[in-house]
Structure 1
Amino acid sequence: MRRLFLHINVSLDGYITTPAGDIDWRFADEEFERHIDTLLESIDGMVFGRTAFEQLAAYWPTAGNEVSATQRRRMHELPKYVLSRTAQHAEWHNSHLLGDDPAAALGDLKRQGGRDLALFAGGQAATSAIRLGVLDQLRLMVNPVLLGGGTRLFDGTYPTADLRLTDTRRFASGALLLTYDLTAPRTPTR
């Protein structure tokens, strides 16, 4: 069974965007870009919250040389799943709405053969995935910056979960990739 993991940039004080919604504070050097290329080659699909999906769908189809050829290709070809009960359509290439029962839809996707799925963007989506009991791993790219406000990575209610640190990676920028498996039994809440 494949896993669903969260991979997201977060500030040291727990924010994923500035108060204005910007993400240009993250440390995106060549080493990080190579990491993203490798990550995109290792997965069979991506999950996004509605807001993040809409923002990315407006950008990626016309992305140019500011991103790698691997990123352009994989962001186009990989299946994209939208974790939203309000979205009516998903027109970006190979995109699919998860529908009214996202826990069941994600469970079905995880039971299919293949490589893991990545939840890349959206604090609400990350919180929902934990609440629904479908998230298996957290890969937090902790950036050496304090934002002092913005969108928190986890906000709202979700069940208590124990985490087990399974890997760390230090980037030359000072960013740390911390990988945690969710280990405690979780009962989905709806």
Structure 2
Amino acid sequence: MRRLFLHINVSIDGYIADLDGDIDWRFADEEFQAHLDTMLESIDGMVFGRTAFEQLAGYWPTAGDEVSATQRRRMHELPKYVMSRTLRDTEWHNSHLLGDDPATALNDLKRQDGQDLALFAGGQAATAAIGLGVLDQLRLLVNPVILGSGTRLFDGTYPKKDLRLVGTRKFASGALLSTYDLVAEE
């Protein structure tokens, strides 16, 4: 069975975007770019919330040399699944709406053979995925910055979840990738 993991940049104080919605505060050095290439090669699909999907769909189809060839190729070819109650169609290559019951759709995808799925989402979609009980792992890339305000990673109501630390990786920039499995409820 495949797993669904959240992979997201976050500030030390828990924000994923600054007050203006920008993410230009996150680091993106060569070491991190290599990590992204490896991670994209290890998955069979990507899950997005509507906002992240629309932003990325406006960028990736025309991305140039500022990103690696691996990132351009994988962002184009991988299936993209969108959690949205308002979006009615998608134009980005190989994109699919999850429909009115995203928990069932995601659990069906997880039951398929293949490699894991990555949730690249904003705060609302990440919070929704926690609430739906479909996330298996959190990969939080904690950046060495305090933003003070902005968009929180988890903001809203969701059930308590116990986590188990399964890995860490320190980048030269000072960012720390912390990987947590969600502990299954008994």
TM bin, normalised by shorter chain, reads over 0.9
1:67 shift after superposition = 0.3
TM, length-normalised to structure 2: 0.99
1:7-33 CA-to-partner distances (Å, cap 9, x unmatched) read 000000000001100011001000000
SS in 1 for 2:138: strand
- Matched AA of 1:71: Q
1:98-156 CA-to-partner distances (Å, cap 9, x unmatched) read 00000000000000000000001211111000100000000000000001110000000
1:184 shift after superposition = 3.9
Q: Distance in 1 between matches of 2:45 and 2:23?
A: 22
Q: Distance in 2 between matches of 1:94 and 1:179?
A: 28
Residue pairs, 1:1-190, within 5 angstroms:
1-185=1-185
SS in 2 for 1:109: helix
Q: Distance in 2 between matches of 1:158 and 1:130?
A: 7
* Identical positions, percent: 82
Greater than 4 Å deviation, 4+ residue runs: none
In structure 1, the gaps of 5 or more residues are none
- Pairwise CA RMSD of aligned residues? 0.8
- Matched AA of 1:37: D
1:38-57 CA-to-partner distances (Å, cap 9, x unmatched) read 00000000000000000000
- Matched AA of 1:16: I
Q: Distance in 2 between matches of 1:159 and 1:63?
A: 38
In structure 2, the gaps of 5 or more residues are none
CA contact (8 A) 1:164 1:180 kept: yes
TM, length-normalised to structure 1: 0.97
